[in-house]
Amino acid sequence: MGLLYAGGVIRGLLAITTLLLAIVASPAHAGGGKDKEQPSGATIIRARFQKPLDKLREALQSSTDPNVVVQNLRAGNLRGTTFALEGMLKFYEKRYTNLAGFRPILKRLEDQLGWYLDSEDHLEWARKLGLTPETDPDVFKYLNQDRELNHQKLVDLLKNDHWIPDSQHAQGSTPQAIDLNLTMTKWDSLEDDHELVVRRLQHYVDKELLEAQYDMKDLENGLHKFRREIRWLLIYMQTLNGQVVLDDRELGKKWQEILKDPVAKSPFSKLPAPEAQDYHTFFPRAFYLELTKAVKELGDAKDSGEALADDKWLVQALLYRDKDSKGPARTLAEARDKAAELARNFPNFVSPVDTAEPIRLRIQGGKMLRHLSEMLHDQRDWSKKDCREFFRKWVKKLAA
């Protein structure tokens, strides 16, 4: 039922796109699109969607062979790009309802691409743990089968969800449908958009980070979910494409140390250069670095936890036995012990709970999130003049 429903949604979106194509091509639209009639926010806000869409489309439409497309998606490291476009659809879904239907389709692509890339990583990680195809053939057969399965699922999804060109949808593919809907969207003014961004970010900080409870002993619904919610906040700010600007306001000596941390020099600790407009949202650089550092540390804890979990890749690979082979482990208990022994050879291995809980307390137990919520709330009614004055006073590194 789910697949049938999804297929019906996609066919409906493509049909609407065909109609939109006819409207845009009509004499009434000749000589220019609707953008010329829209407020000044049209070009700037649309670019937040268009930038990741164009980058993704370049790989998706690089070939009619889905196997080649998969290779290009992997080579281009484009899972982050799917996150970016999904993030914008998620962030604005209640404001631009004509775009909301594309989010589930994009999430399917992001999920399956992620599972495929994870299966590739597991093969690499197995080698780093000291396993080899010669000494551990059952493990590598299991991991190779998992990779092939996820590769085929991704190939099928690219075709079934019309992400790649074919004879019937050369002009009505999913990327084309998104693009045409962007063209027909009536975008807000930059002033209205500023208020929406500030309110949305504050609501997210309050609901998902400040008020939500996370149990770090629960790998999937605790540790992983907590990391994912922090990461989504960072993705939103990245993909807003310069609307959010990092500032260097005075926060007290307590927050100076993070500015000297190695994370401050990481490329993941920067935002795009400020947009060429006056209605920016300001986010303290120190707080952004704290959240970025937490995502990295929680990522190591998550990867370590997944190497030890009964239902995850390493334990399951150790339990696999091909035909009459004895396999590396005969029981679940043996597989757990073997996984624990191997996992400690991994370069970034940490104790999941012992690492994650102090991070959670550092983020949720202090005053940072409360301060952040108040700072965002204060910006809700800022005028163009207010934004300009704050920018001049506290934004010292424009490209950061």
**pLDDT given for residue 119 in this prediction:** 97
What tokens were used for 12?
Answer: 């409906």
Q: Helix 102-128 crosses helix 66-75 at what angle (to 10 degrees)?
A: 70
Q: If DSSP codes are grouped into helix, strand and coil, which group holds residue 281?
A: strand
What digits encode the pLDDT tens for the residues 122-157? 999 999 999 999 999 999 999 999 999 999 999 999
Of 34-38, 87-91, 335-339, 349-353, the poorest mean pLDDT is in 34-38
Confidence bin at 163 (pLDDT 50/70/90)? very high
Q: Has residue 240 got a pLDDT over 80?
A: yes
The torsion angles phi and psi of 331, rounded to 5 degrees, stand at: -130, 165
Q: For residue 296, how many other CB atoms are within 10 A of its CB?
A: 16
Q: Has residue 37 got a pLDDT over 60?
A: no
- Domain range list for the chain: 2-29+38-184, 190-394
Q: Is the entire prediction scored with pTM above 0.75?
A: yes
**pLDDT given for residue 64 in this prediction:** 87
The torsion angles phi and psi of 163, rounded to 5 degrees, stand at: -80, -25
The dihedral region occupied by 31, where left means phi > 0, alpha psi between -120 and 50, and beta the remainder, is left
Are 244 and 198 contacting, i.e. CB atoms less than 8 angstroms apart? no
What tokens were used for 94?
Answer: 């209640």
What digits encode the pLDDT tens for the residues 58-116? 999 888 899 999 999 999 999 999 999 999 999 999 999 999 999 999 999 999 999 99
Are 79 and 113 contacting, i.e. CB atoms less than 8 angstroms apart? yes
Residues 179-208, mean pLDDT to the nearest whole number: 96
Q: Has residue 398 got a pLDDT over 50?
A: no
**To the nearest whole percent, how much of the chain has pLDDT over 70?**
88
> Which amino acid belongs to residue 127?
R
What tokens were used for 41?
Answer: 């926010």
